[in-house]
Amino acid sequence: MLKILKNKLEQGNKTSKYPKEPIALYHRYRGMPVINTDCSADVIAECVCICPQEAIDATEKTIDLGRCTFCGQCESVEGEGGAFVSFSENFELGAANREDLVTGGALPALADHSKQHFKKLFGRSLQLRQVSAAGCNSCEADTNVLNTPFFDLSRFGIDIVASPRHADGIHVTGPISRNMRQALIDTYEAVPSPKVVIASGCCSISGGPFRGSEEIIGDLSSLVPVDLYIPGCPPHPLTTLHALLNYFK
């Protein structure tokens, strides 16, 4: 016991002070895209051609964060007027509406779209059942990180629970394979009403890299109503934390 106390005193408090204090991510992190509308049409056209997710619209000069895997290929294309897309270190990517993810470089503040009755119903406590619907484990791993001492998700009254019957909603990752379709629906129905649904990662939002495959559903909103979208491949833990705190708390 004395060794444990000594070790604790030596290590100190390792928990991040976010959101009370801002936190900076590594400079190679790709977050909110910055769109350069003044670049040449040829640069935009090349970005459209090389985007593996068909996430870029040359006419509207937008990028669909629900499809984007943040691979960075578009960022490497430069020409007259500079590059069309550059990625900032802004990790605040959550959205309440699917159409908001089709962006020219900005998203509406989550607090402006938050359904206030959620706050009244759940107060300072939110229990979520995480459902991996054929995910590759990247989104799942970065969600699990939120339970480490650095993030300490439970200090905000948010917990991942084992049973949907003990949950206020579901947090879904993965492209939703056909084999997982019924299990996902059963989990959703097992959650007592009122309940919330979170689509996390581009796979659950649009199918991600598996979009178009006959073996996946690829769009969670086609099965159950979605309240919160968290884009990314995978979403950074801070992206998820920011979305949860600003939408539900």
Alpha carbon distance 198, 248 (integer Å): 11
Alpha carbon distance 134, 113 (integer Å): 30
Domain CATH number, residue 177: 3.40.50.12280
Strand 102-103, strand 126-132: pairing: unpaired
Range of the domain at 143: 110-248
For residue 70, tell me if it sits in a domain. Answer: no
pLDDT computed for residue 172 by the predictor: 98
For residue 15, tell me if it sits in a domain. Answer: no
For residue 89, tell me if it sits in a domain. Answer: no
pLDDT tens sequence across 163-214: 999 999 999 999 999 999 999 999 999 999 989 999 999 999 999 999 999 9
Alpha carbon distance 243, 96 (integer Å): 9
For residue 1, tell me if it sits in a domain. Answer: no
For residue 185, tell me if it sits in a domain. Answer: yes
pLDDT computed for residue 249 by the predictor: 67
pLDDT computed for residue 112 by the predictor: 59
Contact (CB, 8 A) for 203 and 164: no
Identity of the amino acid at 153: L
For the chain, how many structural domains are there in total?
1
For residue 209, tell me if it sits in a domain. Answer: yes
pLDDT tens sequence across 36-79: 999 999 999 999 999 999 999 999 999 999 999 999 999 999 98
Alpha carbon distance 163, 175 (integer Å): 22
For residue 71, tell me if it sits in a domain. Answer: no
